[in-house]
Amino acid sequence: MPTLFNEETAKLDHFGHCPECGSDWCAGDIFTVLRGQNWCKDKSDEDLREYIAQCYSPPYKFSRLIGVQLPYNHPKHYDGVSYWQCPDCHHQWQRFND
């Protein structure tokens, strides 16, 4: 597994394309996806946009990129995402320097 340092990982576009296989990681605009869900059909566009602004961060898109957490008993355990993984080619990138 190659090591990507913090500055390179920061440039990893979670909504772009995999640098290994070219797979598209964007899973859609949050507003568009939620607008199609039954639980929010009664919300106005304004109410839905307000909800999204309160619950999500810009650029208000869903990503297919997988965040991998290490088990608690792993020697390099971090309470959060330690690696990013492409959902298609399964290539992984470290989130932090060793």
Question: Quick check: 1 pLDDT over 50?
Answer: no
Backbone phi and psi for residue 24, each to the nearest 5 degrees, phi listed first:
-80, 125
Question: E strands, the chain, where?
Answer: 26-29, 61-63, 66-68, 83-85, 92-94
Average predicted confidence (pLDDT) for the chain? 85
Indicate the pLDDT class of residue 3, thresholds 50, 70 and 90: very low
Provide the percentage of residues in the chain whose pLDDT is more than 90.
61
Query: Is 94 or 47 the better-scoring residue by pLDDT?
Result: 47
Question: Quick check: 50 pLDDT over 90?
Answer: yes
CA torsion angle 52 95 77 74 (round to 10): 120
Cβ–Cβ < 8 Å for 31, 58:
no
